[in-house]
């Protein structure tokens, strides 16, 4: 069983920045594909960014050039640096871990509003 603990969400003004963190338990983090998803009220959960075990990344078109996903295997942590935030980025952000099985974090709220 893998536990994922997210942090870093909050309220930010448009144009601002936030960094989300997700710490995973266990010893297999370096093998896992990690991703961030988000779900806004009334909408389906969508992929925001993903990073493979080798460091290969991919992003949703809506966040390219603004968000950066990274990982620190020594700390069992994946990050999502979010810059130039927009009101439409408002959502609950979830960390996802895939290595043999899928695991989800509890979610962290990001609200972009003036």
Taking the alpha carbons at both ends of the chain, their separation in whole angstroms is: 40
Residues in the chain predicted with pLDDT less than 50, given as ranges, are none
Residues 99 and 28 sit within 8 Å (Cβ to Cβ): yes
The two beta strands, 33-39 and 91-99, are antiparallel
Structure tokens at 65: 């050039």
């Amino acid at each position: 069983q893998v536990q994922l603990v997210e942090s870093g969400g909050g309220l930010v003004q448009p144009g601002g920045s936030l960094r989300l963190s997700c710490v995973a338990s266990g010893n297999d983090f370096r093998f896992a594909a990690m991703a961030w998803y988000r779900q806004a009220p009334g909408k389906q959960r969508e992929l925001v960014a993903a990073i493979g075990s080798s460091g290969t990344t991919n992003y949703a078109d809506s966040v390219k050039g603004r968000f950066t996903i990274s990982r620190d295997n020594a700390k069992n942590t994946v990050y999502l640096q979010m810059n130039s935030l927009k009101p439409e980025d408002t959502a609950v952000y979830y960390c996802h871990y895939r290595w043999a099985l899928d695991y989800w974090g509890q979610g962290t709220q990001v609200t972009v509003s003036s």
